[in-house]
Amino acid sequence: MPSSPAHQAHHAADAAPHVRDAGVADLPAVAAIYTHYVLRTTITFNTEVRTPRQWQERFATHVTAGRHQLLVAEVAGAVAGFVETQPFRPKPAYDRSVELSVYVAPDATGAGVGGALYGALLTRLEADEAFHRAYAVIALPNEGSEAFHRRHGFTLRGTLTEAGHKFGRYLDVAYYERAL
């Protein structure tokens, strides 16, 4: 597999990630990263791959016409990770809270890509009067993500037990919070 985006990113891990707003043209690369975590891990509770059309509709609703963000990190010209924001919960009193989801290509982790994405996103969210709290909902176990979120100023506020069920087993969910 000579030239998948993640593969290229891996070989350029010494290059600093470049974080920017995603465009529609980035959705296939974003989808490729996310699909790995849907199909092979319990990190996301989605069990079915989002179709290209679903990605486009989500982008149009949340980002183009909405208050939400999708940022990508490029390493050597290839998308190596992304972060997206979405409503924390649908009811209107939650409107000042936002949920973050971050995914780095599996062969590009541990090289500062996630950190670059969170640095850029959190700076933006702090400057945005519309948002007051950020949440990360972490399926356990995920020591890497818990350490990553603590490092970026998140605090564990509570853990739900066996709230999820995927691949034949129950999963706990940790709620991490950060003031914006």
Ligand X SMILES: CC(C)(COP(=O)(O)OP(=O)(O)OC[C@H]1O[C@@H](n2cnc3c(N)ncnc32)[C@H](O)[C@@H]1OP(=O)(O)O)[C@@H](O)C(=O)NCCC(=O)NCCS
Please give the residue ranges that form the binding site for ligand X (CB under 6 A): 37, 43, 102-104, 109-115, 136, 138, 142-145, 147-148, 151
We find the least distance from the C-beta atom of residue 105 to ligand X, in angstroms, to be 8
We find the least distance from the C-beta atom of residue 129 to ligand X, in angstroms, to be 26
CB of 60 or CB of 119, closer to ligand X: 119
Q: Residue written as tokens 């994405």?
A: 117
CB of 5 or CB of 112, closer to ligand X: 112
Torsion on CA atoms 6, 12, 15, 17, rounded to nearest 10: 0
- Selection from 153, 119, 117, 159 nearest residue 138 by Cα: 159
We find the least distance from the C-beta atom of residue 21 to ligand X, in angstroms, to be 18
CB of 65 or CB of 167, closer to ligand X: 167
CA distance 74 to 77: 5
* Residue pair 172/162 in contact by the 8 Å Cβ criterion: yes
CB of 88 or CB of 148, closer to ligand X: 148
